[in-house]
Structure 1
């Protein structure tokens, strides 16, 4: 397979693409793969570091208010489509995949206009602007949440799940908790506000820390690199109990997940793919700062299946966080039921499903 893939801006668009590429390479080792992104997005660092051929185009997103920058955006879009067509003609892909972010808009649109098989993947429960635009031109659309299907032409929609799920589903216990001064085999909570951390979650977590002192479970709290020193200084007067460990960042976070009993964190698509793949009970605190509040919709998709709890950020307090966690950690049956429901909500063979769709549209 000659696969050209594009997506960027955030990890939520990049990591599913990398997971899909990994599975394609396993199943078809002779595949040729090219990733197209921008020089400014996270993909410009993450993709080359993963050893994947990488090319760039210049493009920017539309401003949501009237702005002269939007004239530049239109110009860059038209130019980027021309540049993308040139890349496509040179690489000669069998299929072009877009995983979201405005960069894939030009690439997938160009491919469709050149008659190349095209597929887009929507990770969230609310459709992104780029994917809604592309849905008119592509052959198939992969989704992870049933709710989002109404945003796209019905005949094009395929429920695939998130390829990130298949990437983590086979991870076994690594016993890495001891690397952070925690006990292996003891009930463990992971509090994690995303790769950069989240101020409200951080401040509430550390203020709640003393309440965990006499509990028979332990807490691993990840602040994010940019917040660590500030949190440490601002709350220097709080004595952290022995069963509460604060760290700035964890490399290879998925390796820890099989040893985690409850996760507290955001409701981004990649996080939920990991949580459901491994069947981990969770307390979700959706970010209120994302487009169309899609993390709340993501979270509700699990809450409605009794696979997670949700605390909205404006309702997050030391009391609400402690009560939610203490209730879960003291009720084995409730955790097991939530874990089973989470696993039912996941898709363990998501990459395989996407590859099957790609094979079908390549030979349409």
Structure 2
């Protein structure tokens, strides 16, 4: 009999791409003999990205708690009730053997209903600081797959499995070389190169700091691949126009494996997906955690690497004054670059997707 699995969650690429990686691993292990349904939040990027990856998705009318404007939360209880009822209908129609939660708005209603219906659930917690929803759901979940050690402070220890975070196969199985990747971006293979990425939408503080440093990059003869995100793209493009041979500005990069391969040093936000990818590609990184992430989990993520001498960290408030010194000092310190590369490589788990998929299948009755 064909096994049926629901994967619930989304909201950001940091939730969606690991979820798709788990789904792909499930298909691979079962030789395609599995029925997978995604459940996401209406209006969020999973409603576009999941079908592009070849999977069906249903959208719940659920939103997260708005921390910046509490008046926008008036309809939240009604939307939660509506999404719980919708989740129950999905369970009754699809009748899954297991429900997997990857975090994000749709994860809670789907797993809550599954647990109340006696359906086995697995949580995939990507961050080193667990969110409130997963802490609640963990009490009745069968298994909790985590990306960081020390998660016993959030979850029942007996349920925890340290699998690492899933990374998309386009990165784990990439054959991109440094030279080919630099040529792809129209850059010089003999020059040092920095890759700056602030998440899919970009990071305002990082973008503004890099903008102010453009002439310095040219003066130091260092190349730059700069993913700005949509909001800052036109500003960055205009600012970088005089330096077009040395500074490549892109709104969004789909071939991330080549951007990583081209880079000697990376400047990045500290989302769980970004960190998992940077461990796999073994890059010396300056992390600038997004300070307004729930429970400030990006800082916790980055600090877990800093303590192991596997990365450098700058606070968001320090970027405008300290990024230039930190970045160019690192580029001149070959020994430190090599130390960071070796230590971050030791934290990689390129087979996390398969390890999680195997745990999911163990829960099928």
Same-fold status (TM-score > 0.5): yes
Residue of structure 2 aligned with 1:227, choices 217, 220, 232: 232
Tell me the distance in 1 between the aligned counterparts of 2:205 and 2:72.
32
Residue of structure 2 aligned with 1:342, choices 331, 341, 344: 344
Query: Which residue is 2:161 aligned to?
Result: 158
Tell me the distance in 1 between the aligned counterparts of 2:115 and 2:305.
34
Alignment of structure 1 residues 47-58 onto 2, 5 Å: 47-58=50-61
SS of equivalent residue, structure 2 residue 5:
strand
Alignment of structure 1 residues 1-364 onto 2, 5 Å: 1-28=3-30, 29-63=32-66, 72-164=75-167, 168-173=171-176, 175-184=180-189, 186-215=191-220, 217-233=222-238, 235=239, 239-240=242-243, 242-317=245-320, 320-363=322-365
Does the Cα contact within 8 Å between 1:7 and 1:103 map onto a contact in 2? yes
SS of equivalent residue, structure 1 residue 226:
coil
Residues matched between the structures, number: 360
Tell me the distance in 2 between the aligned counterparts of 1:31 and 1:184.
45
SS of equivalent residue, structure 1 residue 336:
helix
Tell me the distance in 2 between the aligned counterparts of 1:95 and 1:255.
36
TM-score by length of 1: 0.91
Deviation of 1:296 (Å) = 0.8
Does the Cα contact within 8 Å between 1:102 and 1:130 map onto a contact in 2? no
Structure 2 alignment gaps of length 5 or more: none
SS of equivalent residue, structure 1 residue 263:
strand
Deviation of 1:226 (Å) = 1.8
Deviation of 1:78 (Å) = 3.1
Deviation of 1:289 (Å) = 1.9
- Shift of the 66–269 alpha-carbon distance from structure 1 to 2, 3 Å rule, reads closer
- TM-align CA RMSD: 2.3
Deviation of 1:294 (Å) = 1.1
TM-score by length of 2: 0.91
Tell me the distance in 2 between the aligned counterparts of 1:255 and 1:94.
38
Tell me the distance in 2 between the aligned counterparts of 1:170 and 1:90.
37
Tell me the distance in 2 between the aligned counterparts of 1:67 and 1:274.
35
- Shift of the 258–297 alpha-carbon distance from structure 1 to 2, 3 Å rule, reads same
Greater displacement, 142-151 / 197-206 = 142-151
- Shift of the 67–287 alpha-carbon distance from structure 1 to 2, 3 Å rule, reads closer
Divergent runs of 4+, >4 A: 63-71
